[in-house]
């Protein structure tokens, strides 16, 4: 019994050592890629191309506590994404930014807490925007299938949401 336990411990130590070695080389490889990107930072096409190739959702790149980030989806539901521009304060650019984060539907916004709103405002560089325009309250109404006065104006093209 002692022999088996000692073999298990030895195997775990070997696996740990192999893991550290692999992690070191992977980390070293990513640092060399960063230095290559920084050398080419003057070339805008290279920068935008590297951003396009990066499949990492931008929500994970922000330095913020994980508990303050809203829940996101990897893609919209099969029924399609909601027209987030029906929420007052969300224009085409903000809608695109929210979609890039993984926020596609009214019910996602309706579930946000105050900390989620603060995180979104900070991430989108729109301080106090989501609370000022009451995105959560509007999203709750729209998620329930009802319309707000603003969303009706958007539907009737009475408001420019560019």
pLDDT per residue as tens digits for the range 6-65? 999 999 999 999 988 888 888 776 555 454 444 444 444 444 434 444 455 555 555 556
Please work out, in degrees rounded to the nearest 5, the angle formed at the alpha carbon of residue 53 by the alpha carbons of 48 and 54: 100
Overall number of domains in the chain:
2
Half-sphere CA count of 22, side-chain side, radius 13 A: 6
What domain range includes position 118? 59-155
Q: Are residues 46 and 71 in the same domain?
A: no
3-state DSSP helix/strand/coil % of the chain, to nearest 5: 65, 0, 35
Is the per-residue pLDDT at 144 higher than 60? yes
Residue 117 lies in a domain: yes
Residue 160 lies in a domain: no
- Sort 101 into a burial class: Cβ within 10 Å, 0-12 / 13-18 / 19+: buried
pLDDT value at position 53?
A: 41
Could you read off the pLDDT of 84-142 as tens digits, one per residue?
A: 999 999 999 999 999 998 999 999 999 999 999 988 888 888 888 899 999 999 999 99
C-alpha to C-alpha distance for 101 and 90, rounded to whole angstroms: 14
Q: Are residues 44 and 64 in the same domain?
A: no
């Amino acid at each position: 019994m002692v022999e088996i336990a000692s073999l298990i411990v030895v195997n775990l130590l070997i696996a740990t050592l192999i893991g550290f070695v692999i992690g070191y080389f992977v980390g070293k490889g990513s640092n060399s890629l960063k230095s290559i990107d920084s050398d080419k930072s003057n070339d805008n096409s290279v920068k935008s191309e590297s951003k396009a190739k990066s499949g990492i959702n931008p929500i994970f790149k922000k330095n913020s506590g994980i508990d303050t980030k809203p829940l996101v989806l990897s893609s919209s539901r099969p029924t399609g994404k909601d027209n987030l521009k029906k929420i007052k304060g969300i224009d085409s650019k903000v809608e695109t930014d929210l979609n890039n984060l993984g926020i596609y539907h009214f019910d996602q916004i309706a579930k946000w807490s105050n900390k989620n709103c603060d995180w979104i405002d900070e991430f989108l560089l729109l301080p106090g925007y989501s609370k000022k325009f009451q995105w959560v309250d509007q999203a709750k109404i729209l998620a329930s299938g009802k319309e707000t006065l603003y969303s009706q104006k958007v539907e009737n093209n009475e408001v420019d949401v560019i």
